[in-house]
Structure 1
Amino acid sequence: MSKGLTCYSILYFIAGTMLMLCTGIVCSGSQVIQITPQTDRKDLTPFLSVFRDDSQTLDIADIVTPRDNVLFKPVNGQSSFGYSTANFWFKFTANNPSTKTISWFLEYPYAVVDHFEFFHSGPEGFTSTKGGDLHPFSLRPVDYRTMVVPVTLPPGAHTFYFRIHSGGAIVSAVTAWGKSAFEHHRTLDLALNWIYCGIMLATIIYCLLIFVSLRQSAFLFLAFFVSAITFFTLVHTGLAFQYLWPESTKWANLCHPLSGFAAISGAVLFTRSFLHTKKHLPLFDTILKTFIAGSVVLIFISFFVPYPFMTRALMVMACLMGLAMTFSGIMLVFKQIRRAGFYLLAWSPFIVTIALMVIKSFGLIRNNLFTDSMVPISSALVAILLSFALIDNVKIMILEREKFLKDIDNSEKMYRMLAENVKDVIWRLDLKTMKLIYITPSVEEMMGYTPKEAEGFIFKEMLPRNAGKNAWKAIQEGMQKSASCTGETRHAFTIELECYNKARQIFWTETTTTFVQDKQGNPIEMIGITRDITERKKAEAENRALEIQLNQSRKMEAIGTLAGGIAHDMNNIIGAILGYAELSINETDRQTRMYHRLHRIIKGCDRARDLVQGILTFSRQDSRVLQTIAIYPVVNEVLKLIRVTLPSNISIDDASMDETLMIKADPTQVHQVIMNLCTNAGYAMGKKGGLLKISIQREIIQQETAQKQIHLLPGSYVKLTVSDTGHGMPHETMAHIFEPFFTTKPMGSGTGLGLAMVHGIMEELGGKVHVLSESGQGTLFTLFFPEADMTSAPTPINTWRRSDPRNFSE
């Protein structure tokens, strides 16, 4: 706002005010006022005559005597007589030209008067009606904030008297009202006063809310000023006496100056805060602080010093305050302080009001409608304008802070980018409540919780029991270690823990923490960075499994090499024994004992030869012709044979079998593999019975799955599963089941080559055998055969050589 615009606005306002004052000055006319039944409102002030009783001893009987009555002089437009301790007597003559008695009301509009007494003559002489601050409000004939007296005017001319005595300014303004006009005036006046109170209350609440939000002291001081000036207005207009203390006569004279001094101190406090006079006008700021101190002192003095002195002191302080505020505003306008222009524009109505009140109080101008209403109007106007000025001030502050916020915004964006986009979760834990007080949005991707959901969790709720114990133990150890670093932060520990996600699934995390301590060295917070290491843990587990598979494969290969060498040598020895035995038996009579002994030798050699063949199969050193066969007929043939040998309490489920799948293998070997697995399953279930389940399905092995296995390439496989509900195997047993001659059966019940042969055959075919088992939970064998080309013709079933299921079962 420019200096010229501000100065012109103030000049226009002052000029308009003086014009309104001038229009209120009228000359006195006839000494008799005409009151008719049609009269609604008439100002009686120009028709008054006044007599000043400095002795304060005369009463109505003395006043109406011809000697004293000639002392009355016309007021000649003077409605205010300043401050005086004298009694002021006024009289006026009203004429009723009609033939009927007229009832009307006489209002004395100045509420803060100590004593007002109205006299009117009757058949028995003069009767009086008293009112004012020194008389209880209940004695007033009309329930209204100012003194209102009902008057009856018989036909003809009649003279009325009233007396005023007050410690404040003496005002002689009186108004005549018709009954209906007064009721309308009272209703409208009440509405306007409550609207005023509503505006001021809204301004107070608004300023307090803004203060609570922004913590700007100017809003608090403005709320204090508006509260004080509103209270002053209620006292000044008589509303406080009417509604707050109608029977207590001492409060009006006490609260009038007290609220005025409070308003002055509030205005000066606001000026210092809003204009920053300490910064821009340091010398003048000292003067303003003196005003504040003086106002506070006068507030306390008001309880002990008489009202006449305090009301004069109030006028002087108000005048000085108005000059000081105007000077400070003008000085800062010339310094091109933007807010000073708004300040002057907002305060100019109130400063003019202060000036007029001072002038009117000392009787230099007459009373009129504008001077009667200027306090509530100007105070409401200044409250509204200052609110807008403060909003503009807030706007300036926002503009000034924008540059600062932009500088912060860049670093904040970098932090947000890091916090919101990093996959690791950054969090803060309150060590008193053990609850999360902050967590980055990446927690939703890691755990499924939103940051708001996660912040209320106790950390133990997010961990399995054992992980929670380990975490709590690590926290306690970390707190003890960090206790030596008072007032600092210290890296405490890094720990790997299992955690729950929102679906209550367990995943692995690695957490690095730092403790935050207070000045006494007590840990109060823990800051941590948590990383999801589930994939790493899976990879480690897979690597360990692959390592176990590799070691097992190497071990089996070494055993197979050893067994193959031994088997070849044994085959040569058995061949020699068998050859000589067959030559000898051909030359021996069947009826001799020697024949039977040689027959037993030959039978033993046959069994030894089959045993050697099993060893060669395990070591993959026997030569077989691979054929394209359908696996379903082989399985079906095995099931026909196995049903005969299994107890009746063992049922077989073969419903899930794809009959179209083909593999490339030796059918006899496949028959041996399936027969051994089914025989072992039947043995595991034994007399208790159970369920033997066999299925054949196609399985597509992807690259990821193939990488987790040894000797298994990506592609299409035929998956054969054989499961039982028997006693299962412990992990210690499972580690050795594919080793030759390892068996859990009693002595003489098995050779220990059954599963070793299964393993050797599957490895030779380029397949794989997996086993899953738990003690008491049964066993599942899964065999993966490479699927054969569907265009090859399968080998007929009658070309197979069937195996005896008793030969090589474990």
Structure 2
Amino acid sequence: MRRVEAGERALRESEERYALAMEGANEGHWDWDLVTDRLFMSPKMKVLAGLSSDTAIPTRSAWRAHVVIHPDDVPRFEAAVTDHLEGRTPQYECEYRVRQPDGAWHWLLARGRCLRDATGKPYRFVGSTIDVSAQKQAELDKERLEAQLRQSQKMEAMGTLAGGIAHDFNNILGAIVGYGELAQQRSAPNTPLRRYLDNVMHAAGRAKALVERILGFSRSGLAERVPVNVQSIVEETLELLRASMPAGIRLESRLEAGNAAVTGDPTHLHQVAMNLSTNALQAMERGGGVLGVTLERLEVREPGSHSRGTLSPGPHVRLIVSDTGTGIRPAVLERMFDPFFTTKGVGSGTGLGLSLVHGIVTDLGGAIDVTTKPGEGTRFEVWLPVAGEAAKPTVVADRELPRGSHQRVMIVDDEPALVELCEEILADVGYEPVGFRSSTQALQRFRADPA
């Protein structure tokens, strides 16, 4: 009798040690009798599966009836069990998602093996399960950061290339625009020559706008940064949009950022708001809809990753531009921030709008979120860090440029056409320009004759 009691006590102690070990490992374990379908599940295993620890689960069939496995994971889950029971895998291992009481999906990693009789037929299946949701999220975060790094490197390389080409082209274009303006001033109005020159200047204006976009994308054209009242920029953008908004599209705006300021270039912030709004209007040009524009001031409590970029804690402004248009296809969503990528027809777009937005927002330390559903619309969220406050700018009336009185002005540029153009313009307003194509020559001449 004493031996029996001692054996039972030893068994209980062994079971308690095993239960404590499993609890310490934060694992759930299960034991499935394949002959009777009876199933033992530890309390931890029930909790991992989204059940209460005291839920009665007598059989494996009852477990499958109670537990909700993600539909995308069911085929893989069932195949892993079948493959092991039929001897195609030496042990069972499977990752799958189960729904928790709060509706969230948790990733579980299950490992186990079956016991077989002398004929090789399985009669018992035992194993353990752990929650790997944190590891899965870490993997997703790592993949997203790696994708952002690759995108950043690609954008930087393309920006360097495009910026170099645009800089040289800008010098050539400067001469075309400058001499074109001089020719316009000296041509009689309402003549064929004036009409030709006007058309030339119109085309040159389009070329200039394209070059400015390329330089903005490559970040080589960034101006000096100043505190900018973001709300005034968005208000100005909406005023321009209202004047040309297609029929059938309604604008709904809510601007509540007050005097929140972002340190940047007003022109670039205007480009962000205008490009996003223009894209939204074009997504609704056939069927009409609602253009939503919201600007608000928010406090970011914790660091976080977004579709494009990451944010640090602190005050931010969030610009939301939404439409009820066609939405964005997944294939386009992956590439829409790539420079020169466009879904528009030839002559209808440059493919620089969103890449320019991405470059400006990234350079300002912000982030972009994009959510879209094909056929329902798209929502862009732009987050920018707040740098204090700034009052709305006052309108300054244009003043006539002062004329010179034969003061000597030195001009230095390695582009001969630009040197000659500047000489023409300055001479025309009363100065005596002296042009040089070499900085060394200009310095020698200045030292020899400072006056």
The reply to whether TM is greater than 0.5 is yes
Q: Deviations over 1:375-431 (max 9, x none)?
A: xxxxxxxxxxxxxxxxxxxxxx4x665544444444333112113333121111233
- The partner residue of 1:442 within 28, 32, 44 is 44
Asked if 1:500 is matched to 2:84, the reply is no
Q: In 1, distance between residues paired with 2:370 and 2:200?
A: 39
Partner of 1:477: 83
Spell out the pairing of 1:671-690 with structure 2 (5 A cutoff).
Answer: 671-690=270-289
> Residue 785 of structure 1: CA displacement?
0.7
Spell out the pairing of 1:83-122 with structure 2 (5 A cutoff).
Answer: none
Asked if 1:467 is matched to 2:66, the reply is no
Q: In 2, distance between residues paired with 1:759 and 1:707?
A: 13
Q: In 1, distance between residues paired with 2:56 and 2:288?
A: 51
Partner of 2:19: 416
Q: In 2, distance between residues paired with 1:476 and 1:799?
A: 78
Asked if 1:798 is matched to 2:409, the reply is no
Partner of 1:315: none
Q: In 1, distance between residues paired with 2:377 and 2:99?
A: 30
Asked if 1:429 is matched to 2:32, the reply is yes
Q: Deviations over 1:262-295 (max 9, x none)?
A: xxxxxxxxxxxxxxxxxxxxxxxxxxxxxxxxxx
For the structure 1 residues 707 and 782, does the alpha-carbon distance in structure 2 shift closer, same or farther, using more than 3 Å as the test? Answer: closer
> Residue 565 of structure 1: CA displacement?
0.5
> Residue 722 of structure 1: CA displacement?
0.9
AA at the equivalent of 1:530:
T
Q: Is the 8 A contact 1:628 1:795 kept in 2?
A: no
Asked if 1:736 is matched to 2:325, the reply is no
Q: In 2, distance between residues paired with 1:583 and 1:692?
A: 42
Spell out the pairing of 1:30-41 with structure 2 (5 A cutoff).
Answer: none
> Residue 578 of structure 1: CA displacement?
3.1
For the structure 1 residues 591 and 658, does the alpha-carbon distance in structure 2 shift closer, same or farther, using more than 3 Å as the test? Answer: closer
Return 5+ residue gaps in structure 1 as ranges.
Answer: 1-396, 483-489, 802-810
**Partner SS for 2:251:** strand
Partner of 2:361: 762
Partner of 1:701: 300
Q: In 2, distance between residues paired with 1:583 and 1:670?
A: 32
For the structure 1 residues 616 and 708, does the alpha-carbon distance in structure 2 shift closer, same or farther, using more than 3 Å as the test? Answer: closer
Q: In 2, distance between residues paired with 1:602 and 1:405?
A: 100
AA at the equivalent of 1:794:
A
Partner of 2:326: 727
Partner of 1:515: 114
Q: In 2, distance between residues paired with 1:520 and 1:556?
A: 63
> Residue 654 of structure 1: CA displacement?
2.3
Q: Is the 8 A contact 1:685 1:724 kept in 2?
A: yes
**Partner SS for 1:748:** coil
AA at the equivalent of 2:393:
P
Q: Is the 8 A contact 1:429 1:438 kept in 2?
A: yes
Partner of 1:20: none
Q: In 2, distance between residues paired with 1:404 and 1:473?
A: 41
Q: Deviations over 1:578-602 (max 9, x none)?
A: 3444455555555654443334323
Q: Deviations over 1:75-131 (max 9, x none)?
A: xxxxxxxxxxxxxxxxxxxxxxxxxxxxxxxxxxxxxxxxxxxxxxxxxxxxxxxxx
> Residue 622 of structure 1: CA displacement?
1.2
Q: In 2, distance between residues paired with 1:682 and 1:797?
A: 29
Partner of 2:201: 602
Spell out the pairing of 1:231-250 with structure 2 (5 A cutoff).
Answer: none
Q: In 1, distance between residues paired with 2:257 and 2:178?
A: 47
Q: In 2, distance between residues paired with 1:688 and 1:680?
A: 14
Q: Is the 8 A contact 1:422 1:442 kept in 2?
A: no
Q: Deviations over 1:5-57 (max 9, x none)?
A: xxxxxxxxxxxxxxxxxxxxxxxxxxxxxxxxxxxxxxxxxxxxxxxxxxxxx
> Residue 451 of structure 1: CA displacement?
4.3
**Partner SS for 2:86:** helix
For the structure 1 residues 632 and 594, does the alpha-carbon distance in structure 2 shift closer, same or farther, using more than 3 Å as the test? Answer: closer
For the structure 1 residues 767 and 422, does the alpha-carbon distance in structure 2 shift closer, same or farther, using more than 3 Å as the test? Answer: same
What root-mean-square deviation, in Å, do the aligned CA atoms of Structure 1 and Structure 2 show?
3.0
Partner of 2:135: 536
Q: Is the 8 A contact 1:652 1:692 kept in 2?
A: yes
**Partner SS for 2:395:** helix
Partner of 1:303: none
**Partner SS for 2:73:** helix
Q: Is the 8 A contact 1:685 1:726 kept in 2?
A: yes
Q: Is the 8 A contact 2:308 2:369 kept in 1?
A: no
Asked if 1:611 is matched to 2:210, the reply is yes
Aligned length: 394
Q: Is the 8 A contact 1:618 1:760 kept in 2?
A: yes
> Residue 781 of structure 1: CA displacement?
0.6
Q: In 2, distance between residues paired with 1:709 and 1:763?
A: 8
Q: Deviations over 1:195-251 (max 9, x none)?
A: xxxxxxxxxxxxxxxxxxxxxxxxxxxxxxxxxxxxxxxxxxxxxxxxxxxxxxxxx
> Residue 704 of structure 1: CA displacement?
4.5
> Residue 729 of structure 1: CA displacement?
0.8
Q: Deviations over 1:559-582 (max 9, x none)?
A: 111111011010111123334444
Partner of 2:426: none
- Structure 2 length as normaliser, TM-score? 0.78
AA at the equivalent of 1:798:
V
Q: Is the 8 A contact 1:718 1:784 kept in 2?
A: yes
For the structure 1 residues 544 and 665, does the alpha-carbon distance in structure 2 shift closer, same or farther, using more than 3 Å as the test? Answer: same
Partner of 1:644: 243
Spell out the pairing of 1:544-555 with structure 2 (5 A cutoff).
Answer: 544-555=143-154
- Name the structure with the higher helix share: 1
Q: Deviations over 1:756-786 (max 9, x none)?
A: 2212221222212222223213111110111
Q: Is the 8 A contact 1:471 1:497 kept in 2?
A: yes
Q: Is the 8 A contact 1:491 1:515 kept in 2?
A: no
Spell out the pairing of 1:343-422 with structure 2 (5 A cutoff).
Answer: 397=1, 402-422=5-25
Q: In 2, distance between residues paired with 1:699 and 1:550?
A: 27
AA at the equivalent of 2:138:
A
Q: In 1, distance between residues paired with 2:307 and 2:276?
A: 25
Q: In 2, distance between residues paired with 1:754 and 1:799?
A: 30
Asked if 1:455 is matched to 2:76, the reply is no
Q: In 2, distance between residues paired with 1:782 and 1:421?
A: 44
For the structure 1 residues 562 and 800, does the alpha-carbon distance in structure 2 shift closer, same or farther, using more than 3 Å as the test? Answer: farther
> Residue 721 of structure 1: CA displacement?
1.1
Runs of 4+ in 1 over 6 A off after TM superposition: none
For the structure 1 residues 597 and 747, does the alpha-carbon distance in structure 2 shift closer, same or farther, using more than 3 Å as the test? Answer: same
> Residue 711 of structure 1: CA displacement?
5.5
Q: Is the 8 A contact 2:254 2:295 kept in 1?
A: no
Q: Is the 8 A contact 1:706 1:713 kept in 2?
A: no
**Partner SS for 2:223:** coil
Q: In 2, distance between residues paired with 1:428 and 1:699?
A: 51
Q: In 1, distance between residues paired with 2:257 and 2:387?
A: 14
Q: Is the 8 A contact 1:627 1:794 kept in 2?
A: no
Return 5+ residue gaps in structure 2 as ranges.
Answer: 399-451
AA at the equivalent of 2:335:
H
For the structure 1 residues 665 and 433, does the alpha-carbon distance in structure 2 shift closer, same or farther, using more than 3 Å as the test? Answer: farther
Q: In 2, distance between residues paired with 1:648 and 1:708?
A: 32
**Partner SS for 2:337:** coil
Q: In 2, distance between residues paired with 1:475 and 1:551?
A: 38
